[in-house]
Structure 1
């Protein structure tokens, strides 16, 4: 199934053109209300799509597919990111920031909880059925290689795909984040949004046809510099652009990437233990040149993801090893 999906992606990316059929879309992320999500919403609406935005109240990066099951959401104890909602507002509902359309919703929870609100509450009220597509992102920073197992951006599309909904994870460079003076108006966000619409034009031009093969999601990563970037089919692969490690002191042991991220957010790293992220200093091997982590330096990488953990083609191998555990026949 993965092989056929890769072939389909290659054919589509060879000619990113055409006019997309209007779709019902739930747009979510793991960062909360951002310049990226606002820009993509506007680009999708301009392209004729009907869009619901449902995102976490706060930045929930690294939460993967976590869900706080059975825990009611009380009133907000602090404002949501970028003023999406104020302290004291309900734990989930329409955003109240001035200037946003009525299509924007927040959830004081994990990324997947925000997605589920979009699917089970907002979409059900708007359309009475599941959306045609779930878009997760664009994330403020790429999700490449093995790190995607902890990504809320990717956790959202896995959850949607397991419900049978076509889903695409979108991640851009950290240079797409908003500034304190203009938190929702980074010009780089509009560039990523335009290229995303370009991809959707290639994926779906037939009324009623699914955008993706069943059980397949996509992981799309935009390079930090989009000028001249081409679409490229890749694989998640073994080479990783980022490395995670536990450090005893974030202030003393955090790598340069963490220091830069902290400076961008205007915060100081504390003298406390935690998990740090660093750039991979090693070069990819020749066999790893088509890994998304390697190719993303200059191209827009598109990798097919299998929904869930089912492993195709392993049945015979497992049967052979389980034979010795078969229950003895009764006489």
Structure 2
């Protein structure tokens, strides 16, 4: 794991070699993804953008199996494609060029379209790396379970493709012009990370098999340091099912009937003992880099413990 220690130092890295990259997210066409695409292309990388047609935050690893995707019944986010276009294909918004694709489906469906269809057509195989994001809002702590940004990286890892999930602050939200100065800052920092991985790889694989990164950028980037972190147990957001999703109007009144749903908000809890290295705590001021393992498999010592617990049941 020495390469990760070097990655967070991030001094003056050598220029990266040209890599084949699938860039995906769970937000659709945004300033964040456009800024990172532009920065990667400026570095000489070959980049395919494959994102959901519409905002798909909170969909996690959801997929719609064995159901054909119908033509669009409404325009994609930021007019990436218009009503009547196929359920998946190249974006038609003027000025984007031929590298941008959409899928009227979940984040993982869009990522798979990028690696299974577009990458196969262009490169005859998988990309060198999947970059998922930058998300609008951090994916730090337990929220990663429902994150399409993180699930894209997990599914790429299952395919044995190096992957990094990237999440930025809420102030990187996109307007119709796809321009946000903070998106450009996040893109520049992301390329620094990629350059460092390239330097450590010696031209080989960018991340070990079965490993992906979850990288969270703070709201304020000016004095942020790169720090190793862990997903851990600190909860930055409260996610709860509530019986009334209504919000007060400017007069402090709630209008209409109560409707149930899932609410999310910032937690007021401070990190407890042993949680100082949790990414959800670090990202308050610094750039948190967490190392993710493949899927849900438990460590060997935990498997052995459960084998002993179920000794009389399990046929050894």
Does the residue aligned with 1:324 lie in a helix, a strand or coil? Answer: coil
Partner of 1:278: 265
Counterpart CA distance in 2 for 1:326 and 1:240 is 36
CA displacement at 1:22 relative to structure 2: 1.2
Instruction: Confirm whether residue 74 of structure 1 aligns to residue 70 of structure 2.
Output: yes
Partner of 2:192: 198
What are the equivalent positions in structure 2 for 1:176-187 lying under 5 Å apart? 176-179=172-175, 182-187=176-181
Contact 1:177 1:183 in 2 (8 A): no
Does the residue aligned with 2:174 lie in a helix, a strand or coil? Answer: coil
Contact 2:10 2:192 in 1 (8 A): no
Contact 1:21 1:207 in 2 (8 A): no
Partner of 2:89: 93
Does the residue aligned with 1:12 lie in a helix, a strand or coil? Answer: helix
Counterpart CA distance in 1 for 2:4 and 2:315 is 45
Instruction: Confirm whether residue 312 of structure 1 aligns to residue 299 of structure 2.
Output: yes
Contact 1:232 1:299 in 2 (8 A): yes
Counterpart CA distance in 2 for 1:59 and 1:323 is 48
What are the equivalent positions in structure 2 for 1:102-117 lying under 5 Å apart? 102-117=98-113
CA displacement at 1:282 relative to structure 2: 1.2
| TM-score after normalising by structure 1 | 0.89
Instruction: Confirm whether residue 251 of structure 1 aligns to residue 238 of structure 2.
Output: no
Correspondent of 2:230 among 226, 231, 235: 235
Counterpart CA distance in 1 for 2:86 and 2:127 is 25
Q: Give the superposed CA RMSD.
A: 2.0
CA displacement at 1:246 relative to structure 2: 1.1
Contact 1:169 1:219 in 2 (8 A): yes
Instruction: Could you tell me which runs of 5 or more consecutive residues in structure 2 were left unpaired when the two chains were aligned.
Output: none
CA displacement at 1:58 relative to structure 2: 0.4
Give deviations 1:225-277, integer Å, cap 9, x for gaps. 11111111000011111010111121148xxxxxxxx99xxxx9984211000
Instruction: Confirm whether residue 165 of structure 1 aligns to residue 161 of structure 2.
Output: yes
Structure 1 window deviating more from structure 2 (31-40 vs 282-291): it is 282-291
Does the residue aligned with 2:84 lie in a helix, a strand or coil? Answer: coil
Correspondent of 2:288 among 284, 293, 301: 301
| 1:270–1:86 CA distance, 2 compared to 1 (3 A) | farther
Does the residue aligned with 1:305 lie in a helix, a strand or coil? Answer: strand
CA displacement at 1:327 relative to structure 2: 5.4
Contact 2:307 2:314 in 1 (8 A): no
Equivalent pairs, count? 309
Correspondent of 1:140 among 132, 136, 139: 136
